Amino acid sequence: MELDNNNHSVFLMYYHLIMVVKYRRKVIDYAISEKLKAIFVRISSNYNISMQEWNHETDHVHIFFKAHPNSELSKFINAYKSASSRLVKKEFPDIRKKLWKEYFWSKSFCLLTTGGAPGEVIKRYIESQSEKL
Neighbours of 18 (CB within 10 A): 14
Confidence of residue 47 (pLDDT cuts 50, 70, 90): very high
Under the banding of pLDDT at 50, 70 and 90, the label for residue 123 is low
Q: Is the pLDDT of residue 98 over 90?
A: no
pLDDT for position 38: 98
CB atoms within 10 A of CB 8: 5
β partners of residue 60: 20
| CATH superfamily placement of domain 4-132 | Transposase IS200-like (3.30.70.1290)
Note whether 36 and 81 are within 8 A (CB).
no
Q: Which one of 13-27, 36-50, 94-108, 112-126 scores highest in mean pLDDT?
A: 36-50
pLDDT at position 133: 44
Q: How far apart are CA 69 and CA 79, in angstroms?
A: 18
Whether the per-residue pLDDT at 132 is higher than 60: the answer is: no
- pLDDT, tens digit, 9 for 90 and up, residues 65-86: 999 888 999 999 999 999 999 9
Degrees to nearest 5, angle at CA 63 with 81 and 37: 60
pTM score: 0.82
Mean pLDDT of the chain: 85
- In the prediction, which pLDDT does 43 show? 96
Domain ranges of the chain: 4-132
